Amino acid sequence: MMNSQPGILEPIPNHGKYLFFDLLSGGNAAQSLRLLAEVVDGDDIVVGIGRSLALRLGARVPGLKSFPVRSRAHIDIPSTQSSLMCWLRGTDPGDLFHRARRVRALLEEGFVASDCVDTFKYGSGLDLTGYEDGTENPTGQAAVDAAIVNGKGPGLDGSSFVAMQQWLHDFGKFEALSAIQADNSIGRRLKDNIELEDAPESAHVKRTAQESFKPEAFMLRRSMPWSSTDTKGGLFFSAFGTSVNAFEAQLARMIGDEDGISDALFKFTRPISGSYFWCPPLHEGRIDLRAISL
């Protein structure tokens, strides 16, 4: 699909910065968004619109909802839904810093910054636990089919829905696991990334096996590690889809909705944020905001 924001389908960059914004009370969101649209090409910056922003503009994007709070015994899935998300992608943290300042300046009439997460590529694309992340991602046309809306008409075709969660790892707990316990938590072997045939039902890749859902729950993960201090870090999870249905089905199974078995990941990591956004398509190289009345 040529008119999707290219940064969605491309491999993760070496560095990323996620900027989140809330609506400024009494501000001019439409004007700010128009200014942003003039500089966004969907590649260096991927933009996502939250439900409250669409509603503020008097629009309804079919399928765009707010991230729901979920809880089970010992598991909390928080929602930190904001109005607008900009994923800055690049190779140089200094460059990202200055681009973030420019984006904030463009948006100041209509939005207030609510969060900022710095991310990076670790090794060949590893989670900070050392496990390779993204192995079973769809590629080529399958990635387009999983992530990019098609057949819904102009303004919607080429768009994508993204689910985002910042996960905070407890490295003390992770490192207290034996090598076998850690491999069983993921369901793959750290040393060679081979999938374990006899992994327990709680293994992460057993919980989330995309073809095991009805309908199949394929999505395109573009997660990146994050860190904020010497000791705090984890995975900034993001998954693009033609809706958020695949993500919701997987998360439900991860927290044990189906069979009471929760994902072994929760032994050493937990989400501290959660949001959904609709990433508009491109038109003539700029984001196409027709679907939200701009």
Q: Under the criterion CB under 6 A, does residue 210 sit at the interface with ligand HEM?
A: yes
The residue type found at 290 is R
Local structure of 244: helix, strand or coil: coil
Q: Under the criterion CB under 6 A, does residue 247 sit at the interface with ligand HEM?
A: yes
Q: Under the criterion CB under 6 A, does residue 265 sit at the interface with ligand HEM?
A: yes
Local structure of 204: helix, strand or coil: helix
Sign of the CA dihedral with 190 first, then 196, 202, and 206 last? positive
CB 124 within 8 A of CB 193: no
Identify the H or E element spanning 208.
Answer: none
Q: Which of 75, 83, 25 has the alpha carbon at shortest distance from 51? A: 83
CB of 224 to ligand HEM, least distance (A): 11
Q: Distance between CA atoms of 162 and 39, rounded to whole angstroms?
A: 21
**Which listed range, 98-106, 113-121, 127-135, 171-179, lies at the site for ligand HEM (CB under 6 A)?**
127-135
CB of 222 to ligand HEM, least distance (A): 11
Q: Under the criterion CB under 6 A, does residue 135 sit at the interface with ligand HEM?
A: yes
Q: Distance between CA atoms of 160 and 70, rounded to whole angstroms?
A: 23
The one-character DSSP state at 43 is S
Task: Pick the binder of ligand HEM from 24, 57, 209, 261 (CB under 6 A).
Answer: 209
Q: Under the criterion CB under 6 A, does residue 235 sit at the interface with ligand HEM?
A: yes
Shorter beta-carbon distance to ligand HEM: residue 20 or 226: 226
Q: Under the criterion CB under 6 A, does residue 185 sit at the interface with ligand HEM?
A: no
Q: Under the criterion CB under 6 A, does residue 131 sit at the interface with ligand HEM?
A: yes
Q: Under the criterion CB under 6 A, does residue 182 sit at the interface with ligand HEM?
A: no
CB 3 within 8 A of CB 252: no
Q: Under the criterion CB under 6 A, does residue 167 sit at the interface with ligand HEM?
A: yes
Q: Under the criterion CB under 6 A, does residue 183 sit at the interface with ligand HEM?
A: no
Q: Which residues bind ligand HEM (CB under 6 A)?
A: 127, 131-136, 165, 167, 186, 188, 204-205, 208-210, 235, 237, 247, 250-251, 254, 265, 269
